[in-house]
Structure 1
Amino acid sequence: MRSPTISIYFVHKCLQNLHQQPQIQRALLAKNHISANLLSKDSARIPAENYANLLRDTMQAMNDELMGFGQQAQKLGCWATMTELAASTTTLGEALARLSRFYRLIPWGLETRLSVSGDNATISLLPSEPQQDFDPYLYESFLFYIHRTANWLIARQIPLHRVDFCFAETPQAAEYWNLFLCQNIQYEQATSQIHFSASLLNQNIRKSPQALTKFLEHANLAMITQSYTQKSWYYKTSTELESRVADNPSFNEIAKALELHPHTLRHYLRLEGFQYQSIKDRVRCDTAIYHLSSAGRSVEETTAFIGFSEPSAFIRSFKKWTGATPLEYKKKT
């Protein structure tokens, strides 16, 4: 079993505005089974569920859904209210227009705009006042939430043509594919925004009250672990690897299972911006983190679960992937 993982960068951001309250930071980390030792490891990753829980708890501790990154605090319940309003519409276009209007009414520093030009739809985040400067996390996280909520509303992945950011390229830029499933990411643009096909705005919304209630029980978790990417070769390759990770399958074996010639699969992955080894490393890393930190497996058991013959080889690879040892992931505080 594999659980998606999140870069430690996002844990730092989650706790950033509690820096003057270290006791609360430590309590939040301990509650969500994240070792404080991992904060010093730039390559470390944690289970997505732990991160989603940390987000929820930090928002509650600060009584601010923006966790201190906005111009002023955003009361708990704003996102749930907006989602209820959006889910009651007929089409995605109506839902996103309602979302945009809702967040223009809240004084948080940015204004949301939905615009259409030809077959290109754009959702933009514009500063309410000229020359306002916000942390990149506010832009990247809010666009992520809008995109994932839009996906949920129509129960399918919305392919993004491009993602624009108004800030310079960051050290964690490689993580943005995981956030947006888009390779075309531009930096130092005039506006932070996402672009997609305007034809999708006509997609119908059919969300039952039960589906809405379930989504809002833990919206952070629902969005972070969301997966509607069955058509991507990255997804298909990852899923096949995950089902056979203990056998340490070769690339040719994976291609055969997907009924493709190895050259064809390699070409498809290259078009999506991936190499097989990087996908294999991520599957093994995520699986190992799950078994160590969530399932409570020993290093020896985890070694076998992810297809290594010797614990020493697994430990070396794990430290290369995360910057930490497997034992550090077994520490809960």
Structure 2
Amino acid sequence: MPKTITLTERFGHLVTTPSPKKKIERDSISVSLVEEALRCAEARGVSREILLEAAGIAPATLESPRARVSPVQYGRLWNAAADALDDEFFGQDAHPMRRGSFVLLCHAALSSRDGEQALARIASFLRLVLDELVFEPDIDEKRMRIWLNDQGAPKTMFAYATGFILVYGLLCWLLGRRIPVLAAHLRCAEPAASDEYRLMFCDELRFDAPRSFVELSAECATLPVVQTPATLKRFLRDAPANFIVKYRNPDSLAARVKTRLRQTAPTDWPEAESIAAALNMAEATLRRRLKQEGLTYQAIKDALRRDLAIARLAHTRETIPQIADALGFAEPSAFRRAFRKWTGVRPADYRRER
């Protein structure tokens, strides 16, 4: 049997374990997306056990619909599936997106002048490697729309999301900033995990649409491409984990609060009054504006602690008492209760055997 050539061996270290600082600055991925990826691979004869082992995801994690994984774990799963299927699109198109396609796509778009030209090159390249999902830019002074021309029956939500992650993640990196997503209308029916997909796309995500498209802020069409061959090497080293997560609104108050909290150890996180003062507003104003965004200060802290816990369980050898202490819990039992409330599984079940 011939030796399997991995993405790492063929194109360099596409997925590496980032430094602890990088890991804790990232969000997390719903286990529903992990299940979708596994189902795609299983439909083509690839064992989920093999992929979960390669990704460092404990099978017990999948037992709760509230569970989440780190972007690094999901990135490893993506690459493991690409190796097993020789397809970086999870086998969701009649024509496989062969291993190494994304690397070549990056090189094709890197020398673009601006966002408009980069998107045109990305769409042209993907037209060569996919048959059933064609990306067609439609740009004028008022809008930057990407039509997702899905041939025949609507694609699955996961297929649209996979294509969106590849196109949007690369475009944001090329321009050196997160591009506002204004709307997304898709032909597929609304999935059970629609809230998770709204975090990925935008609040204005509609289903059962007559045509599929994603609309981006028009200003990004004229923004210059700022990346170079040197930065591309670093980008590919951490891909796709470094562009999988998209925050709903990086300019929101919640995002500003999270940025402040990430700069401080959880044991030293301030009370609402102190963080409001740091953001030059009254505590009542902070609470009111967060409520308008559907959040509370406590909910933001809980979500960030959850993601920090997931990253530490997945990527460090710290004991559960050590993690509990680092995250500001008075005792390990309190951390265990909180983690089970957040994810539906125990920390010990979540962490794979080492």
Normalising by structure 1, we get a TM-score of 0.90
Q: Secondary structure at the match of 2:138?
A: strand
Instruction: State the Cα distance separating 1:229 from its structure 2 match.
Output: 6.9
The aligned residue for residue 251 of structure 1 is 272
Amino acid at match of 2:150: P
The aligned residue for residue 227 of structure 2 is 207
1:172 aligns to 2:172 (yes or no): no
Instruction: State the Cα distance separating 1:305 from its structure 2 match.
Output: 1.6
Q: Deviations over 1:131-188 (max 9, x none)?
A: 32322101012112211211111101111111222223222222234423x3222222
Percent of aligned pairs with the same amino acid: 27
The aligned residue for residue 86 of structure 2 is 63
Q: Secondary structure at the match of 2:192?
A: coil
- Seen in structure 2, the aligned counterparts of structure 1 residues 330 and 107 have a Cα distance that, compared at 3 Å, is closer
Q: Deviations over 1:56-111 (max 9, x none)?
A: 11101110111111123121122222221111111110111122222223343111
Instruction: State the Cα distance separating 1:292 from its structure 2 match.
Output: 2.4
1:127 aligns to 2:147 (yes or no): no
Report the Cα distance in structure 2 between the residues aligned to 1:309 and 1:273, rounded to whole angstroms: 29
Confirm or deny: 8 A CA contact 1:157 1:229 kept in the other structure.
Answer: no
The aligned residue for residue 95 of structure 2 is 72
The aligned residue for residue 265 of structure 1 is 286
- Seen in structure 2, the aligned counterparts of structure 1 residues 56 and 276 have a Cα distance that, compared at 3 Å, is same
Report the Cα distance in structure 2 between the residues aligned to 1:292 and 1:201, rounded to whole angstroms: 40
Q: Secondary structure at the match of 1:222?
A: coil
Which residue of 179, 184, 188 maps to 1:163?
184
Which ranges of structure 1 fall in alignment gaps of 5 or more residues? none
Amino acid at match of 1:110: L
Normalising by structure 2, we get a TM-score of 0.85
Confirm or deny: 8 A CA contact 2:60 2:350 kept in the other structure.
Answer: no
Question: Which sits farther off after the overlay, 269-278 or 295-304?
Answer: 269-278
Amino acid at match of 1:305: A
Which residue of 201, 217, 224 maps to 2:237?
217
Report the Cα distance in structure 2 between the residues aligned to 1:15 and 1:265, rounded to whole angstroms: 41
Amino acid at match of 1:281: D
Confirm or deny: 8 A CA contact 1:90 1:206 kept in the other structure.
Answer: no
Which residue of 153, 163, 167 maps to 1:146?
167
Confirm or deny: 8 A CA contact 2:54 2:80 kept in the other structure.
Answer: no
The aligned residue for residue 16 of structure 2 is none
Which ranges of structure 2 fall in alignment gaps of 5 or more residues? 1-20
The aligned residue for residue 338 of structure 2 is 317
- Seen in structure 2, the aligned counterparts of structure 1 residues 309 and 318 have a Cα distance that, compared at 3 Å, is same
Instruction: State the Cα distance separating 1:17 from its structure 2 match.
Output: 2.5
Confirm or deny: 8 A CA contact 1:143 1:193 kept in the other structure.
Answer: no
- Seen in structure 2, the aligned counterparts of structure 1 residues 25 and 115 have a Cα distance that, compared at 3 Å, is same
Q: Secondary structure at the match of 2:243?
A: helix
Confirm or deny: 8 A CA contact 2:176 2:226 kept in the other structure.
Answer: no
Report the Cα distance in structure 2 between the residues aligned to 1:228 and 1:91, rounded to whole angstroms: 24
Instruction: State the Cα distance separating 1:273 from its structure 2 match.
Output: 4.2
How many equivalent residue pairs?
330
Alignment RMSD (CA, Å): 2.4
Report the Cα distance in structure 2 between the residues aligned to 1:293 and 1:222, rounded to whole angstroms: 16
Amino acid at match of 2:311: Y
